[in-house]
Amino acid sequence: MSAVKKTQIIIDSTTDLAESFRDKVMVVPLIVSFGEKEYLDGVELTREDFYRKLESGDVFPKTSQASPAVFENVYREVREKGMDGVVITLSSDLSGTYQSACIAAADFPEIHVVDSKNVAVGAGILTEYAVSCAERGMSAEQIAEELEEKKKDVCLIAMLDTLEYLWKGGRLSRTAAVAGGILNIKPVITIRDGAVTILGKARGAKKANNLLVEQITLNGLQYNMPVLLGYTGTSDELLQNYISDSKALWEGHLDKLESSQICTVIGTHAGPGAVAVAFFKSGQQTVEHGTEG
């Protein structure tokens, strides 16, 4: 009986990971454009540099999916190492990157592609779980099958600090963005069935933090599975405020809370100041709320 080949986990650059996992994966970069200037995400443009450019407000960025050719180059490298591969992409409802990964995999039977149906820290915790499966000696096929089940339990909940960037990206009317700014509205969103869904709106950061905590409590956390927090912008100040407001969720359950600067694709539309939490839920469901006064 032949030994199980080692498995390389491959992600695209929209996946956010804790520092301790970043050297355990291969990354396929998306394209970020500021005007006519294009950058390979994470290669030619760091997240810190991206947010500096975004916050300067000179040009609104655009993002483009990775091409099949870029995936092929990575697959070929995995094959040359004598390994199998599992690819985890951001939701196919948000980008054509999953399709590119699948097209490239047609000539690489040792590569298995998984649509995370999530993004950013949500795809990040699924990746962390995949890495742990690979380290336990599971085959690429087994890992892919396991991820198809586990991804149903991934829950990403985020609070936006501003509506300005949703307007700039054409996702919200200027009138709604201005009104939201005047009322200090902070939307709380989730990824549901691969797409962005608004769970509720709160007036002020404190109430938004409370709504975030409420939604996490309603879903329940599997504390024995990966948990990852994220933030957009050059400062994690609002994330630290959230951690302080939500300490009852974590104290006595987790030795350490891992966090990451959120990817450029989400950062483009969320803008600076967003806070996100990703975890594996324990079975309950999110409940949508109206605006909190």
Q: What is the pLDDT of residues 218-247, one digit of tens each?
A: 889 999 999 999 999 999 999 999 899 899
How much is the pLDDT for 165? 65
Same fold, 7-152 and 154-292: no
CATH architecture of 7-152: 3-Layer(aba) Sandwich (3.40)
Whether the pTM exceeds 0.85: the reply is yes
Q: Does position 25 have pLDDT exceeding 80, yes or no?
A: yes
Fold of 154-292: Hypothetical Protein Tm841; Chain: A;domain 3 (3.30.1180)
Average pLDDT value for residue range 25-52:
95
| Mean of the per-residue pLDDT values of the chain | 88
- Domain residues of the chain, as ranges? 7-152, 154-292
87-117 per-position pLDDT tens digit = 999 999 989 999 999 999 999 999 999 999 9
Give CA–CA dist 31/44, Å, rounded. 10
Q: Is the dihedral of CA 131, 67, 82, 24 positive or negative?
A: negative
* pLDDT at position 181 over 90: no
pLDDT-based confidence at 186, cuts 50/70/90?
confident
Average pLDDT over every residue of 74-91:
97
Residue 173 has pLDDT above 60, yes or no: no
Q: What is the largest CA-CA distance in the chain?
A: 67
Q: What is the pLDDT of residue 284?
A: 53
Determine the average pLDDT of the residues in 38-62. Answer: 92
Amino acid at 271: G
Average pLDDT for 154-164: 84
Region 63-89 average pLDDT: 97
Please list, in sequence order, all residues whose beta carbon lies within 8 angstroms of the beta carbon of residue 5, skipping any fewer than 6 positions away. Answer: 82, 83, 84, 110, 139, 140
